[in-house]
Amino acid sequence: MKNRDKNISAMSTPAIAEGGKTGDWRDMRPVIDQKKCIPSIKGKAACYLCWLYCPEGVVKAAIPVKIDLDYCKGCGICAEECPAQAITMIKEVDDNG
């Protein structure tokens, strides 16, 4: 196997992806309807409540808003908090498919 860690006790560094792709155990995925999302409609930085509430910090406060699905755990907090109801949680199919 390539590059095996030689440490004899468990260690990690503070870096993105250090814990592996933690999104792979998600069973619901957030999907943003850009036609309803406030920053997309207004064409300027606004709202971003999803970015504020996401416990994983995987929402990018940009135009359009983006979610990094490699690490999104599918908790649905963003969908719950979105004032425009722009986020829908849809079921993941098979193995993270």
Partner 1 sequence: MDNVQIMTGNTAAAIAAKLCNIQVVAAYPITPQTSLTETLSQFIESGELKAEYVRVESEHSALTVCISASTVGARVFTSTSSHGLLYMHEQLHWAAGSRLPIVMCCVNRGVGAPWSIFNDQQDSVAQRDTGWIQIYCRDNQEILDSVIQAYRIAEEVYAPVMVCYDGFVLSHTMMPVSIPDQKAVNSFLPPYKPHTVLSVENPYNINPVIFPWLRENAEGIICDGYMEMRYKLQKALDCAREVIVATGKKYAKLTGRNYDEMLWRYKTDDAQIILTGMGSIAMEATAAVDQLRKDGVKAGVAGIRVFRPFPVNDVRKAFSKAQTIIVLEKDISYGYEGALCSDIKAALYGTGINVPVHNFIAGLGGRDVKVREIFEAVQQSLQEIAAGKESNKTIWLNCRK
Does residue 48 touch ligand SF4 according to CB under 6 A?
yes
5 vs 94, beta carbon nearer partner 1:
5
Does residue 90 touch ligand SF4 according to CB under 6 A?
no
Cβ atoms within 10 Å, residue 39: 20
57 vs 64, beta carbon nearer partner 1:
57
Question: Which helix H or strand E contains 27, and what residues bound it?
Answer: none
Hey, what amino acid is at 51?
A: W
Closest approach of partner 1 to the CB of residue 92, in Å:
19
* Closest of 29, 6, 33 to residue 97, by C-alpha: 29
